[in-house]
Chain A
Amino acid sequence: MKGAQHFRQRLVLSTLSNTALRIDDIRADSEAPGLCDFEASLLRLVEKISNGCGIEINETGTKLRYKPGILAGGRNLVHDCGTGRGIGYFLEPLIILGLFGKKPLSITLRGITNDSRDPCVDTFRTATLPMLKHFGVPIEGLELKVVARGAPPLGGGEVVLKVPIVPKSLTAATWVDEGMVKRIRGVSYSTRVSPHMANRMVDAARGVLNRLLPDVYIFTDHYTGSESGKSPGYGISLVAETTTGCILSSECVAMHSGASELQLPEDLGTQAAMSLLQEIRLGGVVDSTHQGLLFILCALCPEDVSKVRVGKLSSYGIKMLQHIKEFLGVQFSIKPDPATGTVLLTCVGSGFQNLYRKVS
């Protein structure tokens, strides 16, 4: 394989399918060649939760050999994610790997909790974790706690992730009914800025959303003191819940636009609300961010048919489908549903089981 693209997908699928991986030409022609710090950090994280894995990187960091070990899981692990990418970057692979470990995983991650590139921890908590229950993951042990917020660029946030192990395997899901949006919830947080910012974002978002639905409730979450990380920042994360239990999410984080001015909270609120409406318009049982996760969960099911509906296929999702075929040998049948502009995906699971689990 070549290039640094979709590094996480490759790493996760390689670990799950227990196939050794070799990636060449990682940013070989770039100004800063080789693995980035966050990728190295991810590798360290994988090494932390697995036993017997082998990682070889050449001097320039442009070549990587990875031999997966056994997913061990474990309690009271700590990992510093650095400030290259948000914690969401690490959470996405971690949640899948954690499900198939020897022991339940409980890990503290430090770094940037909210980032514009990665799904923020609020979205992860409110939208991603509930998604797993459709695939028979025991929901009791699944938990994400935000201990401290960390806004970019300096971070300083902290979250605690607890993932249970699946007893044997996931269960295949037929999840095609999107339902109708019955309520919209959200979290608007602010740290190291005036607490008023959060309210301003909420007002703006409600202004857009209330024209369609009265049941909109957005929590404001202000952080001070030790919980507030190292940098000022604010953002909003919205989730729309449908009558059939699908959860669509969108989010916006204040970015430094041009000069060191953060965006206006009103703009953020409106932007988040609009992108949520856009997600709703696209349809599907999950939003565009969670397509990849959805596909990998379908592919990891026992050898039953899973059927899911998504909106437009995102490029991340497409790449995930390709990687799934490559590593797990699972091919999806993809049928567009012209009436709704959505896509129906059907697959026969790979029969993946949690084989690392100890039996008594």
Chain B
Amino acid sequence: MADEEAAHKQHRASRAGASAGASKLKKKKKNDRGPSTKQSNPKAFTFRSAVRAKRQQAVSAERQQRKLHVPILDRATGEPPPFVIVVQGPPQVGKSLLVQCLVKHYTKHSLSNISGPITIIAGKHRRLQFIECANDLNAMIDAAKFADLVLLLIDGSYGFEMETFEFLNLLQVHGFPKVMGVLTHLDKFKDVKALRKTKKQLKSRFWTEIYDGAKLFYLSGLIHGKYSKREIHNLARFISVAKFRPLQWRTTHPYMIADRFEDVTAPEDVDANPKCDRNVTIYGYLRGTNLKKTMKVHIAGVGDCSMSAVTLLPDPCPLPSAAKKRGLREKEKLLYAPMADVGDMLYDKDAVYINISDHQVQFSKNCEDAEKTQGKDGDVGETMVKSLQQSKYSIDEKLQQSFIQFFKSSAIQSASDSEADESDESGPEKDDAMATVSEDGRLRRRVMFPNEADEEGAAEGPEDVNNGDSSEDDITGEENGDEERMVHGEGEGEEEEEGEGEGEEEEEGEGEGEEGKEEQENEENEDVEMGNALQWKQGLMNRVGASKSNVNLMQVVYGHVEASSKDKDFQEDISDSDEELFKPKRQRHQASKDTVAANAQNLDLEDCSRLTLEVDDWHNQEVIEAIRDRFVTGDWNKASQRQKGEVEEDDLVYGDFEDLETGEQHVAAENHEDAERRLKKLALRAAFDAKYDGSASLDEENKEVEGPKEKDHFDKLKEDMELQKQRNAAELQDIDATTRIEMEGFSVGTYLRVEFRGMPYELVHHFDARHPILVGGISKSEESAGFMQVRLKKHRWHKKVLKNRDPLVVSAGWRRYQTLPVYSLEDRNGRHRMLKYTPEHMHCIATFWGPLAPPNTGIVTFQNLSNSQPLFRITGTGVVLEWDQSVQIVKKLKLVGYPYKIYKKTAFIRDMFTSELEVARFEGASVRTVSGIRGQIKKAVKAGSGKEGSVRCTFEDKILMSDIVFLRTWTKVDIPRFFNPVTTLLQSRDTVWKGMKTVAELRSEQNVSVPVNKNSLYRPTERQPRRFNPLQIPKALQAALPFKSKPKLSAKRKKPLLESARAVVLEPNERKVVSLVQQLTTIQNDKAKKRKLEQRKKKEAYTAQKAKEEEESKKRRREEIRERHRSQAVPGRPLNKKPRRNV
């Protein structure tokens, strides 16, 4: 049937004419529509193979998972600090020019010299801080630790240089910030082809180092000594949209980059001793996390120091106000670069500095006269300066002459006297109104304000000088407010310090507090007894007590009440101070029982967490009713009200009145659940905002691909974090600023002034603004030193392996220090076995002593920090695994002994140990001879019976006197407790930091050759052939052996037998037969040979024939199959017009 159907005449499409053209068009359209049909009918294009589908799914799932990172919670709220953009590159590559061009682009300001951080406002919500990285390994290490974005400058005409790769490696280890490459010097290429080729090469190398698709800019050349505006504009655009991933180390540690650095040591001290310890202040934006006052900090290149004072300053470069407008106004394009000498005004905690360049300082009498003729008064600042100039005496002199009477009865004191008293006052308050010469020789004058009322006016004066800035008024206003607060804060700090120092007073205060509480409690109890009628009163009392205790509780706990208690103590002390001297100690105790004895009792108070409560009478029904609603059997409504914090216990008793009283509480105490719900909503909104922020980050892109789906673990984690963040913000927002600083420290993004006392004078002397100062906070547990185990790998570009106990400079966390690592590998059984050198291509464990860095911190090591090395300077990279105070690293120890007396299986060994004590340590240890006989150590021989330290051992077999006995054991390796901070900021920048030298360096210096142990050298081994004695079998045994095993005693015949040497002579008949046979055989062989040849020929012909046939049949079969397929496949299509697809 089917055949019949197939035989129907097929349709023949027209090959020419209009219809043919139409059909062609149609076909074309159909082909074009390929992908679109796929989308309109997705079901038709699903996977054909389940296996393939599965595999593809697995691949895509894996790719997705690989993109996921553990979310890091960025706890910072409010305005972020300016992002740090580090410009790095080898020398003469155009770093400074790039910074200049970028600054010019952003602020229209031409900078002459680039030194120190330059803060600019790049947008409504974005501030940037440009830092040029000096071409010095130490500066590079520090820069890698604080960079948010790195502009990696590469000389295109030269290619990559070592510095670039070193810096990339540093970045990788210290958390990888964002990196953009910038190719410069491209105008040196004359040939376009060569240029294109070089670009391609450099780009591919750059991509392998960072990631595929990393941004690489091309700065094609200079126009009037600047980069082209268009290219800079593009670069600025990319900078302005760059997103910065929070890095683990930085989100857990606060840090600051010094914007400004001032020496605030009293000038007299410096004059007296130019090398005296200095007090310095460092200014900068706080980054990372919140900084607490008590925290210790590490100044990179100096060491750990504690901050003597931290103060909050108004932001010198604030973001513009949040008014709705597009772009930035010209006035808002601020630039703040105190080290680069651009800003004219500097704000300090208690003063404002005005910089006046030398040619502008022309205040003299003539000048003043000229102005007077103009009839126009100069502004306040100017007049002040002039009046200062007019004065004949310096302030010091004036003070010397002035007198102050402190009290009526007291003697009149001159300032010179009082100064001696107050010599230990803080620095900045003292050096009032004096001119200081800043580090680069500029004259810098400090203006002091007589009082606060004048302050604003004075601050306004210099504003004219600083015509670039806009919101100066705000700043000064803020500053005043802050100052007040600050003063308050400091006062508190002092009080607290006192409290801590003198525990006794604190106890007293606490005792009082408790008493107060007890009283309150008693009152309550009484009230309860009075019954319901008085409950409203009790409520009132409660409230009053609470409002009192609102102030008091913090005081009770954190001790602001010391003053009063101290006074009391003081009085009592006075009262019995005279007698006390003459009384024995014990008596005195009894005498002043309520002070000292009580104190002593407090001191040695019993350490007990249990509190014995005075118990109410719980048999009383009313008392029980009071807590009825705290049980599930009670009234649930009242209980929930209690939770809300509004207790309307008896509406009948006090209705409206209560409402009036608690009016504010209704607002203040929000329902807990409501608050929770609100927070969740906020968190969700924040998450949503983050997701659809225009530039979706990587993980968000995944989600878009997948489409909406149910929340997975990752989403939940993120949401929880966001929720916690919102909760933090909600809790902290209604706490006043001082308490907030006490609770969480200075928040991220604020501008701080940190004062350090007693810093080495070299820090000031060798200060160079081009090397930024990094101040990093360290947590309590990172302050101490200990052993760190680090998984270390020698860098593959470092030529040599690293030697055990050779000094190595390590950069971990904020710190750089030199230490002596001991390398080891962990055996299967957990033993750490020492290595003499690091493995060539493998990780090993390095253990060293040093200031601790938390586990999972990346470290990078160097052997030498000097800049004059042609080779790659990074010797290894690694990660901290563990801390400890003692580490067990062992090395092999082989003790050798010689038998001096052998019994059957027991032998006495000498020279293995030197004393009985040593033997005792190894009793029961296993030993071995060279020939492999195993044994065990039993006991030391008795003193006197053998050599000291001889030992009795037993073996599994009898050993020989010529045997050597080994004891293989392990001995602990001492890890040197040494580290040496790299103090590069305390020396001039062009000197090379010198630390401990390696052994090789010492040897080459001292011209000492490597010691050679003669015994360790290989010599050609001389082996005597071993002679064995003949085997002796006892006669009786011999007799009993079977013949086969018996030793054959007769000697082997040496001469052949006579028979084999005899000649054979044939008979004539025999000879005939033999020759005939021989001939016949020859003929037969020949025939066989011929036959074989013929056979082969035949076979060849046959195979040829066969192959031919096979070929033909194959052809035929293929044709058949084709035919069949054609006929089956497209019945309607003509056979000869098959479209070609396999082209």
Contact = CB atoms under 8 A, between A and B. Distances in A.
Interface of A: 1-9, 17-19, 25-30, 51-52, 69-70, 89, 92, 102, 117-119, 172, 174, 176-178, 180-182, 208, 211-214, 243, 271, 273-275, 277-283, 288-293, 303-305, 307, 312-316, 318-319, 321-322, 325-326, 328-341, 343, 346-348, 351, 353, 355-360
A197 B503 CA distance: 46
Interface string B150-163: 00000000000000
15 contacts: A4-B605, A18-B783, A29-B589, A51-B886, A181-B632, A182-B632, A274-B615, A291-B609, A304-B724, A322-B510, A331-B742, A336-B550, A336-B553, A351-B252, A351-B289
Given A18-B780, A271-B615, A358 B626 contact: no
Contacts of A325: 558
Nearest to B644: A339
Interface of B: 75, 252, 289-290, 292-295, 500, 503-504, 506-507, 510, 513-514, 517, 521, 524, 542-543, 545-547, 549-550, 553-554, 556-559, 585, 589, 600, 602-611, 613, 615-616, 618-619, 624, 626-634, 636, 639, 642-643, 645-647, 665, 669, 672, 724, 727-728, 731-732, 735, 739, 742-744, 779-784, 786, 852, 854-856, 881-886
Given A118-B608, A329-B295, 13 more contacts: A3-B600, A3-B605, A4-B603, A30-B604, A178-B630, A274-B615, A281-B627, A305-B727, A318-B514, A321-B557, A331-B739, A338-B543, A357-B855
A280 B744 CA distance: 32
A356 B626 CA distance: 49
A321 B506 CA distance: 13
B510 A315 contact: yes
Given A212-B631, A243-B632, A289 B609 contact: yes
A353 B854 contact: yes
A2 B542 contact: no
B557 A332 contact: yes
A345 B827 CA distance: 51
B742 to A, nearest CB: 5
Given A332-B557, A340-B642, A5 B604 contact: yes
Contacts of B630: 178, 180-181, 280-281, 283
Contacts of A279: 613
Given A1-B503, A278-B616, A329-B294, A355 B631 contact: no
A26 B290 contact: no
Contacts of A177: 643, 672
Contact of B607 (A5, A30, A338): A5
A275 B614 CA distance: 8
A19 B784 CA distance: 9
A241 B1100 CA distance: 101
A359 B295 CA distance: 26
Nearest to A277: B618
Contacts of B513: 318
Nearest to B741: A331
Contacts, number: 249
A18 B500 CA distance: 18
A303 B665 contact: no
A318 B510 contact: yes
Interface centre among B557, B607, B886 (most CB of A within 10 A): B607
B618 A348 contact: no
A355 B618 contact: no
A4 B604 contact: yes
A29 B743 contact: no
A213 B632 contact: yes
Contacts of A9: 607
A348 B604 CA distance: 31
Contacts of A17: 780-781
B884 A339 contact: no
A214 B633 contact: yes
Given A329-B295, A351-B252, A70 B290 contact: no
Interface centre among A17, A18, A25, A119 (most CB of B within 10 A): A18
B613 A288 contact: yes
Nearest to A19: B780
A1 B507 CA distance: 12
A355 to B, nearest CB: 5
B784 A18 contact: yes
A334 B553 contact: yes
A208 to B, nearest CB: 6
Contacts of B558: 321-322, 325, 331
A51 B524 contact: no
A319 B510 contact: yes
Contact of A336 (B292, B549, B628, B882): B549
Nearest to B603: A3
A356 B550 contact: no
A51 B884 contact: yes
Nearest to A320: B609
Contacts of B514: 315, 318
B553 A343 contact: yes
A243 B784 CA distance: 45
Contacts of A118: 608-610
A335 B550 contact: yes
A348 B729 CA distance: 11
Contacts of A359: 855-856, 881-882
B602 A70 contact: no
B554 A326 contact: no
A32 to B, nearest CB: 10
Contacts of A243: 632
B602 A338 contact: no
Nearest to A100: B781
Contact of B609 (A316, A318, A331, A332): A316
Given A30-B604, A181-B632, A51 B885 contact: yes
B735 A181 contact: no
The 8 A-B residue pairs with the shortest CB-CB distance, nearest first, are A52-B885, A3-B603, A338-B546, A5-B605, A348-B744, A288-B611, A305-B731, A4-B604
A273 B613 CA distance: 12
A333 B735 contact: yes
Contact of A307 (B626, B636, B731, B855): B731
Nearest to B881: A359
B735 to A, nearest CB: 6
B619 to A, nearest CB: 8
B510 A70 contact: no
A182 B639 CA distance: 13
Contact of B542 (A7, A334, A338, A346): A338
Given A303-B75, A338-B542, A348 B732 contact: yes
Interface centre among B510, B618, B855 (most CB of A within 10 A): B618
Contacts of A273: 618
Given A51-B885, A333-B554, A339 B672 contact: no
Nearest to A314: B611
B10 to A, nearest CB: 72
Given A29-B585, A339-B647, A213 B611 contact: no
Contacts of A6: 605, 607
B583 to A, nearest CB: 14
Contacts of B556: 313, 318
Interface centre among A118, A289, A334 (most CB of B within 10 A): A334
Contacts of B557: 313, 318, 321-322, 332, 334
Interface centre among B503, B550, B559 (most CB of A within 10 A): B503
A2 B558 CA distance: 18
Nearest to B668: A335
A337 B669 contact: yes
A5 B601 CA distance: 9
Nearest to A273: B618
A215 to B, nearest CB: 8
Contacts of A355: 781-782, 852, 854-855, 883
A154 B784 CA distance: 42
Contacts of A181: 630-632
A239 B731 CA distance: 31
A340 B618 CA distance: 19
Interface centre among A92, A329, A339, A358 (most CB of B within 10 A): A339
